[in-house]
Structure 1
């Protein structure tokens, strides 16, 4: 079922690896023109454009773009007990991990009377995107809102696409999760239009522009975040999901297959990759994947994902080569299922999140591990990180010098400002001693 990519016979270079393991055919650049037009439409026509885009791309025209607070409260009250409990546990665990990411103010003394303080300030307002196309993600409400609240953000707005089965309204479990977290500003809008609305604001519905936009989504959401980056901050371009499993002959074929199928059910563009030095495991996993894919709930979607160019089984000579392949690919989710995983984990540096051992599947991280499931995709894990408190806070330096400390620095400023042809900079310091 899965294609086999044989990279045995020496260590391939990163460029060759990326060629052998292409990402999905769609990428943000391919839809950039359409996305810019959708964003501009929202910027100029506001609510009317959002309603039309909901009808055209999502689940129909909502009764109103902004969800009434009463509807959020009712959805929270209607949450089934098991879902309320599960969301509560997820909120607690993600909150604990998020609090560990906070930094305390630090003051550096550079001499008598010379101090620089590093402090971290929350942004004023954020827009959090919760996807709702092929699946509905109350867990993404948790993963976005909790780090923002932990960072101290006061203004939190959530956007989620209209759902046809609910008459163009937001999914009630999404609303319930928002209500559980105390968020009462929710908008029924999806895709590029939602990102554009967050970036530019829509005064007619009381939506003020935000400072930071975060959250996963499809290729249109990723392209839209790229388009507005600079006007606002973004977390990363979190597009179609991907999993790469590094495994040796000790791994359970059925468990590896279960994890590959679990991510393939997200999207036909999802990538599922096994890298192994065991041909026997490769064959056994392929057979197990075929069995599971045929009987899983989203069988058609899973088959499309697993048989596409972005999925496959990669054969390598040894686990050292597996590390090279994984680091070159830089997966969103990386699982390590080997006899002795920790030496490999030390070398596996390019990944959004790493899941170690057979008892740590990616699906645990999607819901209840305490880690965040909004992660960089498409190889951007080489330079981007998963969602944390960091996108919601700004490091700020507070500089405090007295006159004696300034006098000591005076010749340094004078020499460098003159060297740069900016003598007024030096004059500004000299003026303190005239």
Structure 2
């Protein structure tokens, strides 16, 4: 990995790789075709890109049961325990409405209601992600969403990974479709003969999924535009080079465009981590993917002070941040921009990916400056409520009318003034 001295005050930026015009053109064609042709277009694109021709898009209850039974018993138990941890964490996020009582019987309020239907995209392709099922479904269930739909690309044999099916089985989700890519996003957004449209789409995917989500936004809600995975490690001389290297590679193996970065105050650690990364790449099964990530988007920065290092992290606003330093909790308190923060030697990023209970769907591309990870609030909406009594109306109607006329909206003024006398 390239080692660079961090100049004081420098702003770190993630090297971006976005969709190009050709990819966007493909996505727009897919969306238009699915909107016009429904299931026919979904099947056509599934055969073209996923390598199998689905006679049925829906995963049957029998297939879900078979997948759950095929998973190793210990893994099923582990998934269930992870689900319990995730549910416990997200239950703490549940919002309640409120009522603000005013004079003369008037009141204002806010009502919290769950979305009616959500579509949860679970990535496939080069890897299977049962954990994404848990991370997307559980917050929606805690929120009270009644209809939860999963779409995920099947293998060339037409089957979803048994881990994905087992996770759905644990959570009791039965509406699952074996489709992926932009055609899945289109089906969820517009509906087809088989798939009813949803109100919101969540979950990460490849560049075609990301572009499709961006295109359908407004027709439906989306959680975020998820880019390639990122990890930043903030470390000092107390960290162990082999552990830091392993953590960097844990995200580098996701994607050739993943971004692994170390910011450290220790020049010795920087050089040792660079050596360890090369050493560990030799035996990593996904070495080709990880090496491309490390060489094209990875970096090690040496900061003069911890304050400079923290400033660099805040400018980067990474998806995942590990703080492996002396007084790690105090250092982490100074971090303002990160999707997920992992404090101390034993809080390696995969702890959050799979088991601790926090959500692993997190903002990328420095959007942690203004965005949050997936949570229960993503599946709720808030309605404001106004109840004015006659006395409150009488006291305030002239004020409201004056404000309306100041803006040139006579109809508004007349609407509020039209009340208050006996009508024949």
The TM tier, using the shorter chain, reads over 0.9
Q: Distance in 2 between matches of 1:324 and 1:60?
A: 49
Confirm whether residue 68 of structure 1 aligns to residue 73 of structure 2: no
What is the aligned partner in structure 2 of residue 230 from structure 1?
218
What is the aligned partner in structure 2 of residue 117 from structure 1?
109
Q: Distance in 2 between matches of 1:317 and 1:390?
A: 40
Q: Helix, strand or coil: the match of 2:314?
A: helix
What is the aligned partner in structure 1 of residue 144 from structure 2?
152
Whether the aligned pair in 2 keeps the contact of 1:29 and 1:223 (CA below 8 Å) is: no
Whether the aligned pair in 1 keeps the contact of 2:101 and 2:107 (CA below 8 Å) is: yes
Q: Which runs of 5+ in 2 are unaligned?
A: none
Q: Helix, strand or coil: the match of 1:72?
A: helix
Alignment of 1:368-387 (within 5 A): 368-387=355-374
Whether the aligned pair in 1 keeps the contact of 2:114 and 2:145 (CA below 8 Å) is: yes
Q: Helix, strand or coil: the match of 2:172?
A: coil
Q: Distance in 2 between matches of 1:107 and 1:30?
A: 51
Q: Distance in 2 between matches of 1:330 and 1:242?
A: 10
Whether the aligned pair in 2 keeps the contact of 1:156 and 1:185 (CA below 8 Å) is: yes
What is the aligned partner in structure 1 of residue 409 from structure 2?
422
What is the aligned partner in structure 2 of residue 409 from structure 1?
396
Which of the numbers 41, 44, 56 marks the counterpart of 1:49? 41
Deviation, structure 1 residue 29: 7.1
Confirm whether residue 11 of structure 1 aligns to residue 9 of structure 2: yes
Whether the aligned pair in 2 keeps the contact of 1:264 and 1:272 (CA below 8 Å) is: yes
What is the aligned partner in structure 2 of residue 106 from structure 1?
98
What is the aligned partner in structure 2 of residue 315 from structure 1?
302
Deviation, structure 1 residue 126: 0.4
Cα distance change of structure 1 residues 5 and 59 upon mapping to structure 2, 3 Å threshold: farther
What is the aligned partner in structure 2 of residue 172 from structure 1?
162
What is the aligned partner in structure 1 of residue 186 from structure 2?
196
What is the aligned partner in structure 1 of residue 126 from structure 2?
134
Which stretch has the larger CA shift, 423-432 or 329-338?
423-432
Q: Distance in 2 between matches of 1:331 and 1:110?
A: 44
Deviation, structure 1 residue 389: 0.9
Whether the aligned pair in 2 keeps the contact of 1:129 and 1:160 (CA below 8 Å) is: yes
What is the aligned partner in structure 2 of residue 399 from structure 1?
386
Which of the numbers 134, 159, 183 marks the counterpart of 2:173? 183
Q: How many matched pairs?
A: 421
Q: Distance in 1 between matches of 2:317 and 2:249?
A: 20
What is the aligned partner in structure 2 of residue 79 from structure 1?
71
Q: Distance in 2 between matches of 1:385 and 1:36?
A: 28
Alignment of 1:351-362 (within 5 A): 351-362=338-349
Which of the numbers 257, 265, 286 marks the counterpart of 2:253? 265
Confirm whether residue 22 of structure 1 aligns to residue 20 of structure 2: no
Q: Helix, strand or coil: the match of 1:344?
A: helix
Whether the aligned pair in 2 keeps the contact of 1:212 and 1:391 (CA below 8 Å) is: no
Deviation, structure 1 residue 221: 1.3
Confirm whether residue 163 of structure 1 aligns to residue 152 of structure 2: no
Alignment of 1:259-298 (within 5 A): 259-298=247-286
Cα distance change of structure 1 residues 93 and 327 upon mapping to structure 2, 3 Å threshold: same
Q: Per-residue displacement from partner, 1:218-246 (whole Å, max 9, x unpaired)?
A: 12111111111111111111221110001
Q: Which runs of 5+ in 1 are unaligned?
A: none
Q: Per-residue displacement from partner, 1:16-53 (whole Å, max 9, x unpaired)?
A: x32xx413x34477732221122112111222222222
Whether the aligned pair in 2 keeps the contact of 1:123 and 1:394 (CA below 8 Å) is: yes
Q: Helix, strand or coil: the match of 1:104?
A: coil
Which of the numbers 366, 382, 397 marks the counterpart of 2:353? 366
Whether the aligned pair in 2 keeps the contact of 1:265 and 1:298 (CA below 8 Å) is: yes
Which stretch has the larger CA shift, 60-69 or 79-88?
60-69
Whether the aligned pair in 2 keeps the contact of 1:54 and 1:162 (CA below 8 Å) is: no
Q: Per-residue displacement from partner, 1:319-378 (whole Å, max 9, x unpaired)?
A: 111112111111110111111122322221111110001110110000001000111111
Q: Helix, strand or coil: the match of 2:168?
A: helix
Task: Return the TM-score normalized by structure 1.
Answer: 0.93
Which stretch has the larger CA shift, 321-330 or 386-395?
321-330
Which stretch has the larger CA shift, 39-48 or 324-333?
39-48
Q: Distance in 2 between matches of 1:318 and 1:342?
A: 17
